[in-house]
Amino acid sequence: MAGGFSGETEIVSYKLRDSCTLVIHQGDITKWFINGENDAIVNAANELMLGGGGVDGAIHSAAGPELLRACLNVPEIQPGVRCPAGSARITEAFNLPVSHIIHTVGPIYDEEGDSASVLSSAYKSSLEVAEENHIKYVAFPAISCGVYGYPLEKAAEVALLTLKNHAGDLEEILEVSKWCCCRGKSPFPGCSGHGYNDVMIQIG
């Protein structure tokens, strides 16, 4: 398979179920791609979709100013909200090597609130947008694990359960390989992230 990213390192792999293998890699999500035709990375955006810190800022910086203009063209559904928490939108990727960017908004972590269901919805909505746009390969960041404060271990449980529950349809329909990543240390068994590397997980 073409693509990937320079310096890719496989850390561990194991079966999530009979038809689904989990493979953990390290790399830079803004440099990851498969073929530039039906691949996408997911941006952990905010509701206004105009860039920010963390992976959001890194993706906007790497994609170039055209991405901001494309986001401005996404209609606001209410003042200051283009992409509500738990939903997803899609744009072209411009200077990135992938074909598209899927923008999703995770929850600000609240231990007593409904953070898990909103986070799960962010992953699920991203997969649905990917399917609707015939994207076969998707790379996720660890949504909400930066300034939104979601604990990595708890976010990993939600992410993997959601991907596992919804991977089957995409694999069957589009032969999808799906990816997700965690910034810095990894909460996954057998993987110890280093510094600010991304830990990539392929499900396919």
**Site of tokens 């073929």:** 35
For residue 42, how far is the Cα from the chain centroid?
4
H-type alpha helices, 50-114: 54-63, 65-72
Under DSSP, the state recorded for 30 is: G
Q: Any idea which residues carry the catalytic annotation? A: 56
SS3 181: strand
CA dist 201 → 61, 68, 109, 145, 183 (Å): 23, 28, 22, 16, 12
Handedness of CA 25, 23, 137, 156 (dihedral sign): negative
In angstroms, the CA 114 to CA 128 distance is 21
